[in-house]
Structure 1
């Protein structure tokens, strides 16, 4: 028997197709699962494909941890052509000659100039907001785009392949990194211009592309098979340490009452469990107390 809509809880890993917005993927998955509450954990551009974790029900309480997660991408930089959106969906605004480049020289540049902390300016066509308006809305209106430069971190990168006018690059980066800006910056350092011709997210936090299914695969399943694709609610926060409650502590914590913990337990956020059942997110305070932060629904306890 399929669950009622308000009892759909968990994380669904979708391999997003090109041409779809992340919200379109979410709405279609909600309909297929019969869920009423859901959200994605960091949008992918319509051109992009790959790992898109979707959270439903109680899992949405912990989706922020996925928004903050590191990500890995594979992208194709089309050299010699710059577009207004910095990807293949935009209009051409500049063309430039492509210098002869060796794989060794490109790899050296990537490994020396594009690793570690970098200052990056997000593309004009992005969902960042300024005074309540998204930057792409301002861009479409022909208005000046404010400087939204920020510090990001490229944890690792490598040149996968190259042609006369294109590069395939793998990169592992922190949240807030725009691959479109990365590609434009690399091209500028090489003495030309570029745009993203192809982008695929291979990893999002602990989730990898091999764990994902497509929307078409999900649609082909029965209602019960679809629900079986959901990962547990706590899948978003598996990087946090576990704290197991005894029955006395559980009775207090589920009513929002702090409980004392052992002095040797480290302070900070923890996943809290009663036996093997996930209860929610908690915090160990410097006073050696556990306080609840976000608990699952009472009827799930």
Structure 2
């Protein structure tokens, strides 16, 4: 049987998409893929349909490094309303309870927020993409089913009250991967004794990418029409922006390309590094990333062929 030929053209790099509300992350990714006419693309961490903001899309060779974006911290701005709890934790869900919120003060919110900093445990919402026996929880929820879920550890680096007026408050959140903002707001509402749910959510940063460089769908369509869409892509190396960098040439670069661990003078003694090849006095080329072994050698882990 002949192998099915993949459609589209080779495109490499990262698009920092500003996801609009109302689209799933998968749908937004597929729309971008069609606009680029690309063979291969994947997103690096789902945003709820209600949510907007930074959704990095990895094209071609950049998909090799999407793992590091999945693992990266995220930042959000979330607007929540007190007094109403929904089954999904946001305004798209069904109301399950209502309670008075008039007793809630700014001081109380700030006090409760301290309980949700550092390492905490979260029970994923039934309306999440977490899988149970291979089935996403949200599919079970849409069938009217609820199953027990194990708590998951997450890290909340920062949760800051930005505004509070009437029944509405806004938080700025810096958190680890795997944090469910809807669950966080539901838990905060429970602790306040009023309930709460998300009415607006925006991801402002994912790893090295922030909203200042995010491209809207409108800008993407416009660039496609003007035949400059590839100019919107960031280089694959941007996925590991800020990592310690080693520069190699000649035989060492050759060995790295062929998966061999190497020694490099003045390299870090532990952790991961970005590897660049010196092409000439003015140019370098991103090769990939490597991990420092116990003996000090650098083992290539993900390399661009």
Query: TM-score normalised by the shorter chain: which range applies?
Result: over 0.9
Q: Which residue of 1 aligns with 2:301?
A: 293
1:139 Cα shift? 1.8
Unaligned stretches of 5+ residues in structure 1: none
SS in 2 for 1:213: coil
1:256 Cα shift? 2.2
Unaligned stretches of 5+ residues in structure 2: 1-6, 279-283
SS in 1 for 2:228: helix
Cα separation, 1, equivalents of 2:42 and 2:34: 13
Cα separation, 2, equivalents of 1:120 and 1:288: 38
Report if the CA contact (8 A) 1:261-1:290 is conserved.
yes
1:5 Cα shift? 4.5
Mean alpha-carbon deviation: is it higher for 85-94 or for 53-62? 85-94
Q: Which residue of 2 aligns with 1:209?
A: 211
Report if the CA contact (8 A) 1:262-1:288 is conserved.
no
Q: Which residue of 1 aligns with 2:3?
A: none
Q: Which residue of 2 aligns with 1:63?
A: 66
Q: Which residue of 1 aligns with 2:277?
A: 274
Report if the CA contact (8 A) 2:246-2:267 is conserved.
no
1:264 Cα shift? 6.0
Q: Does 1:17 align with 2:20?
A: yes
* Distance change >3 Å, CA 277–CA 168, structure 1 → 2: same
Cα separation, 1, equivalents of 2:178 and 2:221: 31
Which TM-score applies when normalising by structure 1? 0.92
Cα separation, 2, equivalents of 1:6 and 1:173: 36
What value does the CA root-mean-square deviation take over the aligned residues? 1.7
* Distance change >3 Å, CA 76–CA 194, structure 1 → 2: same
Mean alpha-carbon deviation: is it higher for 112-121 or for 40-49? 112-121
Q: Does 1:50 align with 2:53?
A: yes
Which TM-score applies when normalising by structure 2? 0.91
Deviations 1:159-213 (A, max 9, x none): 1112221211111111111010110111111111111111111111121111101
Deviations 1:6-29 (A, max 9, x none): 431001011111000111111111
Alignment of 1:188-203 (within 5 A): 188-203=190-205
Cα separation, 2, equivalents of 1:116 and 1:269: 25
Alignment of 1:17-96 (within 5 A): 17-96=20-99
Report if the CA contact (8 A) 2:108-2:192 is conserved.
no
Number of aligned residue pairs: 293
Cα separation, 1, equivalents of 2:179 and 2:296: 37
